[in-house]
Amino acid sequence: MPIARPFITIPHAKSSPRKSPVAAPNSPRASYGHPPTSDFAPLEDVDAQTFTAPQLQAQILAPPRAVLPGLVAEGATVLIGRPKLGKSWLALDLCIAIAAGRPALGTLQPEAGDVLYLALDDGEHRLRRRMAALLPEGEPWPARLTLATRWRRAGDGGLADIAAWCRAAAHPTAVVIDSLGRFRSLRGAESAAIYNAIAQLQRIAREHGVAVVVVHHARRRSGADPVDTVGDIAGVADTVLAMKRDERGVALYARGRDIAESETLLAFDRAACRWTAAGPLGSEAKSDARAAVVAALVASLPPLSVKEIAAATGSSHAAMHTLLHRMVADGEVQRVERGRYHLAPDDPRLPIHQFTWADGTVIAGYRGGKRIRGNKRISGKRCKNVSLGDQDIEAPSQSPDSGILQTNGDA
């Protein structure tokens, strides 16, 4: 029988006339000190879930299964991203790869086994079209893949149905649910129902040693950390896979308890309708869009506004605003004043604007906000300078009294 968290009653040390708050039936607190409202019944015997440290030390435990090396391991995995980003294509391709024993994301070889795919956002016609697009014509469809477009919700017996499939399958390996909004219970608050559904699916995954992948639509904007789009369920899920589109394309961010944190650039093959890994994303990876921004700033002596940089690079104002925000966070550009950007004053990519005498002697020059006299640099505030085109100044243009460079008219 599936094991549930026991119902533990903790007496209050001091009685109070105020009524103590009780968690909602589907809230995350319902799993701690309150009977869980799910398909699992609480245990009478608390000792059935306890063990001593020496007992744990003596146990021989199998390592968690790596269903898809580096990305999906045994436990509950949340695949999150903005709607219409291609999450369902990735989820279905993963199911076919596990059931058919073929690589996923181009080169990753998954563990072969039985798969349950709940395509709750699709009907049978769309699911069939997607299967036909992902599988070569004439190739038999994998018999180890079980499909469903209708399924009971978590609070209405859907969790028990998944556990029953795991017991009936010959070699259960993965359960993929697309999407969480169609599966979670409709009773109680939405956030609590989502949290409780992930917690119960995690319990099923641990009991049967399978990977449960849940597709979820991100509704909030992510900051510097893409995992922030998951919200509170990142704490209960074993692994988070976040798909995010930026100036480099679509990136897959992976973070979990049993996998190493990674960032992978993905490419979508429209002919085969499959995602492939284009390579890791490192701090040294620069996009063409970022290179265009740097080129625009190098070519301009004064700082540029977002509108000016967008016009110089052929980008939209909104996309450029987001890109500049990331480049400032990465230290590639600086915000010198409100709404204006430039490279760092000592950036070696900035050209040196020089004034020279007729004999070639350098008398003054600028690189960004650093003024150069001869071979010495003097720190100073960034100022708006005008290049004179590196023109040669005749000797009479120098004032004999002050040694200050003057124009021919002043001389």
Tell me the average pLDDT across 270-295: 78
- 3 state SS for the chain: CCCCCCCCCCCCCCCCCCCCCCCCCCCHHHHCCCCCCCCCCCCCCHHHHCCCHHHHHHCCCCCCCCCECCCECCEEEEEEECCCCCHHHHHHHHHHHHHHCCCECCCECCCCCEEEEEECCCCHHHHHHHHHHHCCCCCCCCCCEEEECCCCCHHHCHHHHHHHHHHHCCCEEEEEEECHHHHCCCCCCHHHHHHHHHHHHHHHHHHHCCEEEEEEECCCCCCCCHHHHHHHHHHCCCEEEEEEEECCEEEEEEEECCCCCEEEEEEEECCCCEEEEEEECCCCCCCHHHHHHHHHHHHCCCCEEHHHHHHHHCCCHHHHHHHHHHHHHCCCCEEEECCEEECCCCCCCCCCEEEEECCCCEEEEEECCEEEECCEEEECCCCCCCCCCCCEECHHHECCCCCCECCCCCC
pLDDT of residue 321: 82
Between 384 and 232, the more confident residue is 232
Q: Residues 178-225: pLDDT tens digits?
A: 999 999 999 888 889 999 999 999 999 999 999 999 999 887 665 556
Identify the pLDDT of residue 266.
Answer: 92
Cα dihedral across residues 381, 297, 385, 395: positive or negative: positive
For residue 378, the model assigns a pLDDT of 36
User: What pLDDT was estimated at residue 387?
Assistant: 40
Burial class (CB in 10 A: 0-12, 13-18, 19+), 231: middle
Tell me what pLDDT residue 234 has: 80
334 vs 116, higher pLDDT: 116
Check residues 349 and 245 and name the one with the higher pLDDT. 245
DSSP lists the bridge partners of residue 216 as 80
63 against 371, higher pLDDT: 63
- Please tell me which residue, 355 or 165, carries the higher pLDDT value: 165
Is residue 16 pLDDT above 50, yes or no? no
**Residue scoring higher pLDDT (68 or 359):** 68
Percentage of the residues of the chain whose pLDDT score is greater than 70: 69
Q: State residue 12's pLDDT score.
A: 36
In tens, the pLDDT along 284-336 reads 445 678 888 888 888 887 889 999 998 888 888 877 887 888 788 878 888 88
Tell me, what's the pLDDT at 386? 37
- The reported pLDDT for the residue numbered 403 is 43
Least confident range from 84-88, 149-153, 256-260, 298-302: namely 298-302
Share of the chain above pLDDT 90, in %: 43
Q: What pLDDT band is residue 111 in, cutting at 50, 70 and 90?
A: very high
Predicted confidence at residue 268, as pLDDT, reads 92
Average pLDDT, the chain: 77
pLDDT at 216: 93
Confidence band for 367, pLDDT divided at 50, 70 and 90: low
How much is the average pLDDT of 271-277? 93
- Residue 49 pLDDT: 75
Instruction: Render pLDDT for 70-102 as a digit per residue (tens, 0 to 9).
Output: 999 999 999 999 899 999 999 999 999 999 999
Highest-confidence segment of 28-37, 261-270, 351-360, 380-389: 261-270
What pLDDT is recorded for position 395? 38
Strand order in the sheet with 353-357: 376-379, 370-373, 362-367, 353-357, 392-393
Decide if 145 contacts 97 (C-beta within 8 A). Answer: no
Domains plus CATH for the chain?
75-280 (3.40.50.300), 288-342 (1.10.10.10), 353-397 (no CATH)
Better-predicted residue by pLDDT, 252 or 248: 252
For residues 275 and 382, which has the higher predicted lDDT (pLDDT)? 275
Q: Supply the pLDDT for residue 175.
A: 98
pLDDT digits (tens, 9 = 90+) for 19-66: 333 344 444 333 333 334 444 444 344 446 788 999 999 999 888 899
Asked whether the predicted pLDDT for residue 152 surpasses 90, the reply is yes
